[in-house]
Amino acid sequence: MSHQKSLFEYIGEISYGPKKKKPSAAEIMAGRSGRWRSLVLHFVRAAGRDGATDEEIADRIDALGVRCRHSSVVSARNSLCERGLVEKTGKTHKSKTTGMPCTVWRCTT
């Protein structure tokens, strides 16, 4: 007596083509950090020669409806500084939340 395969056994044998590789955590994070860098660079450029603090950049991103953590802005801005795209202006603005002086950043280009 031959064994007749069930529908589930046939489905297991069907080939759907090459399996797509799942992106690594590093690849996922690179995509996210690239978006943050783009947003931060956009707002630093928009601030012009006067520049903007990390807090001001985060507030502007929040105003777009994008949930933004201060730490995300700092990380993206640090990366932009390392790439030579953003620099300190030498000025500070008073923080709205802490009252402490905050560094003002501007684009180098």
Percent of the chain having pLDDT more than 90? 49
Residue 13 lies in a domain: no
Whether 58 contacts 68, CB under 8 Å: yes
CATH code at position 67: 1.10.10.10
Q: 55 in a domain, yes or no?
A: yes
Q: Please check whether residue 82 lies inside any domain of the structure.
A: yes
pTM as predicted:
0.68
Encode pLDDT of 6-24 as tens digits: 555 544 555 555 666 665 5
Distance of CA 97 to the CA centre of its chain: 23
Q: Copy the structure tokens of residue 26.
A: 């590093």
Range of 75's domain?
32-107
pLDDT of residue 67: 85
Amino acid symbol at 38: S
Round to whole Å and give the CA distance between 44 and 54. 9
Query: Is 86 contained in some domain?
Result: yes
User: Number of structural domains, the chain?
Assistant: 1
Contacts 24+ apart (CB under 8 A), 3-12: none
The dihedral sign for the CA sequence 85, 88, 93, 99: positive
Residue 92 within a domain: yes
Residue 52: Cβ within 10 Å count: 25
Residue 14 inside a domain? The answer is no
Q: How many residues does the chain have?
A: 109
Rounded mean pLDDT of 28-34?
A: 60
pLDDT of residue 43: 93
